[in-house]
Structure 1
Amino acid sequence: MASQKPFIAEHIYADAQTGSTPILLIHGFNSNGAQDWDGQQWLAPLKAAGRKIIVVDLPAHGESARVDVPEDATVSKIVATLSEIIDNHGGKADVVGYSLGARLAWALASQRPERVNKLVLGGLSAGDPFAMLDYDAARKFADEGVTPEDEMTAMIASMAMGEGKDSHSLLNLMQGLGREPFDPSVEKPAAPTLLAAGLEDPMAGSVDAIEPFLDNNKTVRVPGDHFSALKSDAFKQETFAFLGIAH
């Protein structure tokens, strides 16, 4: 009998110096921890700096459990689980999130400020497309190939489709998250925050609209679109400098 997968799988890379702050890395939608946080680019230099690294797979991704119904994967439930993970590794962490990972990192730092030391948010959109989708049409698209009339629903639902993807699990995750829409005017992190956005990234192009809601932040633009900005040397270098990691 196969063992049950965890709600949020965690992968620990530890060669940590005593007293150093762990780093929690949260990937984007339709990816996983290993895919977003490359071993040579991210893990090796972080380990060399003496930091414990916690890489998670979000629900419906990687080695985490599928999402059977939207109620299983709300922002609140994910934040509570991420908070427990940090608590199990010393109680406080530097948190780096990209895209969906940044949206959840924002919520984590806002709702559990005692858990977050410094915060890096890459590819964060000021809006919340998951809250605006027609999920009946999205599921019909996944099951029958009927393209939704709403262009945003068609575009985002298509990301959950394709060979090897559990479309309904990913759509359930989106719908669950969309029930607690991202609104920077409602909650904001207190931790020192680095905002990073790709120069050719339309999704994070509105990052300037987020800045007024932060009291202690720095904003940088790095080369690339929404997908390539994460892999840019500039994003990594800005992140490491912000976290005080020599590289």
Structure 2
Amino acid sequence: MTVSLSVTHRPGQGRPVAFLHGLASRGSVDWPDREWEGVLGERPRMVIDLPAHGDSVALGSATTSVVLDTIASSIGAEEVDLVGYSLGARLAWDLAHHPGVAVRRLVLGGLSAGEPFAFVDLPAARAALAGDRPPRDPLTGMIVQMVSMPGNRPADLLSLIEGLAAEPFVLGRGAPAVPVLLLGGAHDEMAAGIDDLAAMLPDARARRVPGDHLSALHTAEFRRAVQEFLAE
């Protein structure tokens, strides 16, 4: 049975732009109308809540391949430009060559060159959510803090992380062949390797915008970079 995710459609004319948000967020938070209204002219926008996020269903500990199939089914067969941030960028990298999605141009914001989820101590994270002591390692502690933010489903998000870690992000596997723009905040340590990532791809460029991992996404410079790249 095909599972559909929650997708908010903003009508318009021309090729749609699909947006994928980051971990422990949702589409309306990372891609709010007040910031993106009119940025892409009259083009329709498709804002997707990832599995276990926002109004979308949870997929348990489904692997990356299953998550990608679910997102592809929710986007549909129409050609799109794809914009992802953080976890959304990690998934967009693979979606760009998924047989169920036709991607013309790809924007990857806040993308880490490594796979962080493989290093999350899931037993410690689950124990902390159950009231045990906080995790000892900083990464797991940060993940627990993120998934526990108001409005989130912590257990479902940890299961998602478990499934993604079981089939980790590998840069050398199916690198995007479409034109790619890599965006990173000037003070975002997670996106420190975007110049090296751009050098790996046949048609890519990297660009820095103000801010850290949380704030760069919401800057006018980020939106302008996306606007200019997708208008080419």
Decide: shared fold, TM above 0.5: yes
> Aligned to 1:55, what secondary structure does the other structure show?
strand
Matched, 1:32 2:29: no
Residue in structure 2 matched with residue 218 of structure 1 by the alignment: 205
- Structure 1 residue 45 displacement after superposition: 3.1
Which of 136, 139, 152 is equivalent to 2:123? 136
Distance of 2:152 and 2:26 partners within structure 1 = 13
Which of 53, 73, 76 is equivalent to 1:84? 73
Q: CA RMSD, aligned part only?
A: 1.8
Give me the identity figure in percent.
40
Distance of 2:69 and 2:34 partners within structure 1 = 30
Matched, 1:70 2:64: no
Structure 1 window deviating more from structure 2 (184-193 vs 220-229): it is 184-193
Equivalent pair of 1:113/1:189 in contact (CA under 8 Å): no
- Structure 1 residue 182 displacement after superposition: 1.1
Residue in structure 2 matched with residue 100 of structure 1 by the alignment: 87
Distance of 2:53 and 2:223 partners within structure 1 = 23
Letter in 2 for 1:85: S
- Structure 1 residue 153 displacement after superposition: 1.5
- Uncovered stretches (5+) of structure 1, i.e. residues with no partner: 1-5
Equivalent pair of 2:84/2:92 in contact (CA under 8 Å): yes
Cα distance, 1:135–1:13 mapped onto 2, change above 3 Å: same
- Structure 1 residue 127 displacement after superposition: 0.9
Letter in 1 for 2:53: H
TM-score normalised to structure 1 length: 0.87
Residue in structure 2 matched with residue 55 of structure 1 by the alignment: 47
Which of 166, 180, 187 is equivalent to 1:179? 166
> Aligned to 1:58, what secondary structure does the other structure show?
coil
- Structure 1 residue 57 displacement after superposition: 0.3
Q: How many residues align?
A: 230
> Aligned to 1:127, what secondary structure does the other structure show?
coil
Distance of 1:163 and 1:231 partners within structure 2 = 20
Equivalent pair of 2:39/2:227 in contact (CA under 8 Å): no
Equivalent pair of 1:43/1:53 in contact (CA under 8 Å): no
Cα distance, 1:43–1:180 mapped onto 2, change above 3 Å: farther
- Structure 1 residue 120 displacement after superposition: 0.2
- Structure 1 residue 100 displacement after superposition: 0.5
